[in-house]
A and B are shown apart, each in its own frame.
Chain A
Amino acid sequence: MRPLGAFVPLRHSAYSMSAKNHRVLPGFGLALGYTLVYLSLLILLPLGGMVLKASELGFGQIIDIALGERSLAAFRVTFGASLLAALINAFFGLIVAWVLVRYPFPGKRFVDALVDLPFALPTAVAGITLATLYAGNGWLGSHLEPLGIKVAYTPLGIVFALTFITLPFVVRTLQPVIEDIETEVEEAAATLGASRWQTFVKVIFPAIGPALLTGFALAFARALGEFGSVIFIAGNLPLVSEIVPLLIISKLEQYDVLGATALAVVMLAISFVLLLAINALQWWAANRHKNAEPLEVAAGKAGKEAEA
């Protein structure tokens, strides 16, 4: 994650220094070259290949496939459920992170370790477990269904699965940032007459906002690509509870490789634009608290003032 807040002005001073500054750890050129090669091999090459394959179809054909009734519904389900899951986790994940950082309680380490489980568990296992739990005859499902709430084999089930899978992203992103907020800042707000709500909105939230956005973006991105846990609980009804990754697989199973790549490219494009937008928003949130004027200039003024 990008360092937040207070450290950014230093970057200005680093820029204004001459190019020949001496770094403690040398090897910038080598490391950068390695980074570019690594990223190219790992990310650009496969994705580029996919785009190349899709280009066998014309732009119009890709759009036609993507706007087909079934794929449009799948896109709606995938992005809708992912967004909802990421939003749910942004809220409840914040509470979990807050409690884990701020309050000592017995079993805290255990609870903290629990948060990582969705990372470690095979996603299919998670999907089967959730499906069993929420099915009409499951432990929870048997109580929910009389209330008219059907979870398993509905879009709601997809949201549940995605919420489960993406929880760690929000919690783990927020924890270090919340640890960084001094309790004194809250106390200062209180002595200045701020209510608890005002303290949260005006003092706490601006401090954790950028990290919350990062966590949200990570959770959202992860949910978009999630496959294993969803297919077991979704029911996979075309037009209702079918997600794009599944649609891609079923196209592949019918040897419709071009159709599958077309969907994949559209998915990639939308995800990329969304993540780019979130990143821009985050950059803005992290940097709007900085002035353009480099630190040295301010320090120079301070020096002059001290002399006067």
Chain B
Amino acid sequence: MSIEIRNISKRFGNFVALDNINLDIPTGELVALLGPSGCGKTTLLRIIAGMESADQGEILFSGAEATHLHARERNVGFVFQHYALFRHMTVFENVAFGLRVKPRKERPSESEIKRRVMELLGLVQLDWLADRYPSQLSGGQRQRIALARALAVEPKVLLLDEPFGALDTKVRKELRRWLRRLHDDMHISSVFVTHDQEEALEVADRVVVMNHGRIEQIGSPDEVYSAPATPFVYQFLGNVNVFHSRVQGGYAEVERSETPEKATAFVRPHDIDIARQPTEGALAATVAHVHPIGPVVRVELQHGGEIVEVELSRERHEALQLAVGQGVWFRPRQMRVFGADNQPKPPSEKQAFLF
């Protein structure tokens, strides 16, 4: 089932939670709503689920108006960050709940319910826990049960609100992959909310980056990472070095030719080369810190009053043999420039550069 979101706005008192949101989610896609807390992503998800009503705008499910449908009529599965399992029911009864509350005519027989529930529990690999109570399960197990419960009513859309937010890193990684497989097997549309960029980039087909109730960018994980549409997206997704033209004299020179306005350049830490000898167009700096972190080595360079973060591969770092306090030269391989209006500047003929 496809979801179309048209001009949705929502305020809580004076706080604008959603400001004229437009978004299409085609059938079968796994979409991540990504943004910092308070950006409106959860509100948007709740509006899609029918738990919150929008002040204006409309929601269409498969092209049909669904704005005023009650949550129970929308046929969506919802997974909460804190599981929201029914504490007084066994795992089996939790999963069976959606089937048992169906109107008598549509309700499957007891044996059919048992078969379906055990099948779902098998799918989440927890069939041996059927007669346990939620309080006896670990966080990861609870969330898998919550997923099985949501899937029991065969929803056309699966909505997940920070589904792995309360779990530890290792379990989270495992469940992430598992969710992706599940989504592919079930042929449904899924929307999940997260503030974890790694999660969004790894799992989703498409990432919707939100901030202050607006959509900043919609694109594939690769697009939003390597071609961020706004400075916010640049800063939110991954680390970035920010160079302001006023601070960095060399950079202003490039822009001087046509536009005298203020501009900002963004450079990813792994897009910077370090050399021990001065090379053409490189800037001098001193090494302030060297942190080996797993596969990469993060180097902080002191350049004038600013810290520049650089990520090197281990091999490169071993070749360079950087020591704290050492003088080096660095130059960005790739960068993106935004004007004062936060619009990206087309790459100029002369490679926009710092020097």
Contacts and interface: CB of A to CB of B under 8 A. Distances in A.
Given A184-B82, A184-B84, A191 B150 contact: yes
A191 B101 contact: no
A192 B150 CA distance: 7
Nearest to B93: A202
A67 interface: no
B84 A5 contact: no
Contact of B128 (A7, A9, A289, A301): A301
Contacts of B49: 187, 191
A187 B149 CA distance: 13
A198 B100 CA distance: 10
Nearest to A295: B136
Interface in B101-143: 101-102, 125, 128-129, 131-133, 135-138, 141
Interface stretch (B1-9, B12-20, B69-77, B248-256): B69-77
Contacts of B76: 191
Interface in B272-308: none
Main secondary structure of the interface of A (DSSP, over half): helix
Contact of B98 (A6, A9, A192, A289): A192
A17 interface: no
B87 interface: yes
A291 B136 contact: yes
Interface centre among B89, B133, B141, B150 (most CB of A within 10 A): B133
B43 to A, nearest CB: 14
A207 interface: yes
Contacts of B61: none
Contacts of A188: 78, 80, 84-86, 146, 149
A272 B36 CA distance: 58
B203 to A, nearest CB: 21
A250 interface: no
A214 to B, nearest CB: 16
B354 interface: no
Interface residues of B, number: 39
Given A185-B86, A289-B88, A192 B153 contact: yes
B61 to A, nearest CB: 14
B97 A202 contact: yes
B88 A187 contact: no
Nearest to A188: B84
Contacts of B128: 301, 305
Contacts of B138: 299, 302
Interface in A194-234: 194-195, 198, 202-203, 206-207
A198 B149 CA distance: 16
A290 interface: yes
B97 A189 contact: yes
Contacts of B102: 193
A192 B93 CA distance: 13
B88 A5 contact: yes
A276 B155 CA distance: 47
B168 to A, nearest CB: 13
A234 to B, nearest CB: 41
B166 interface: no
B97 to A, nearest CB: 6
10 A-B pairs closest in CB distance: A192-B98, A184-B84, A194-B101, A191-B78, A190-B71, A6-B135, A188-B84, A206-B88, A289-B88, A193-B72
5 contacts: A189-B101, A191-B49, A191-B78, A195-B72, A289-B87
Interface of B: 49-51, 70-72, 74, 76-78, 80, 82, 84-89, 97-98, 100-102, 125, 128-129, 131-133, 135-138, 141, 146, 149-150, 152-153
Interface of A: 5-7, 9, 182, 184-185, 187-195, 198, 202-203, 206-207, 289-291, 293, 295, 298-299, 301-302, 305
Given A5-B135, A202-B101, 4 more contacts: A184-B84, A188-B146, A188-B149, A198-B101
